[in-house]
């Protein structure tokens, strides 16, 4: 039905030195303490793969289970987090800044699927149409 990608973004306080940047480079991420999702999550797998060939080892300060906890840890000054741009938590806290990561490895695949032999109820069809429009125009779902 649909396949695409969501870019991962860096989230940090608006008074952080990187807040002036339009994009965050891998070297900028590696120079900061990182609040990364716990191992075993899809977001963490993408981040670990993206950092696998980095020139230095990341400084992981915390590994929360929930994205909202990661955002709260960032707000508390424990580091920068990396989350999908379409996650609601990314824009949940005033005072935090979101910047795209300038590395093509920081992408999260998105797919909508259904069984071939099944039809969707009209309300679900409308939802899928709205979701596809939103995903195709590049705006966030939050």
Instruction: Please write the tens of the pLDDT for every residue from 97-117.
Output: 999 999 999 998 888 888 889
What was the pLDDT predicted at 91? 82
Bridge partners, 121 (sequence order)? none
CA distance 47 to 86: 16
Residue 60, C-beta contacts closer than 8 angstroms, at least 6 positions apart: 33, 34, 35, 36
Evaluate whether the domain defined by 2-113 bears CATH number 3.40.50.1980. no
pTM value? 0.82
Does the pLDDT at position 2 exceed 80? no
| Cα-based angle 1, 66, 91 (whole degrees, multiple of 5) | 70
In 3-state terms, what secondary structure has residue 115?
coil
Give residue 142's pLDDT: 47
> Which pLDDT value is given to residue 67?
96
pLDDT beyond 90 at 89:
no
**Both structure tokens of 24:** 């965050």
Of the listed ranges 40-49, 53-62, 127-136, the least confidently predicted one is: 127-136
DSSP 101: B
Distance CA 122, CA 25 (A): 44
* 106 three-class SS: coil
């Amino acid at each position: 039905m649909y396949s695409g990608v969501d870019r991962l973004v860096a989230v940090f306080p608006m008074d952080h030195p990187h807040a002036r940047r339009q994009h965050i480079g891998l070297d900028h991420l590696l120079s900061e303490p990182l609040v990364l999702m716990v191992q075993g999550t899809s977001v963490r797998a993408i981040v670990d793969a993206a950092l696998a060939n980095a020139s230095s080892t990341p400084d992981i300060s915390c590994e929360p289970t929930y994205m909202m906890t990661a955002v709260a840890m960032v707000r508390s000054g424990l580091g920068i987090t990396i989350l999908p741009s379409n996650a609601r938590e990314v824009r949940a806290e005033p005072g935090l800044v979101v910047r795209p990561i300038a590395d093509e490895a920081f992408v999260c695949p998105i797919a909508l699927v259904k069984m071939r032999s099944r039809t969707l109820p009209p309300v679900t069809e409308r939802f899928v149409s709205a979701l596809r429009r939103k995903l195709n125009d590049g705006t966030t779902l939050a």
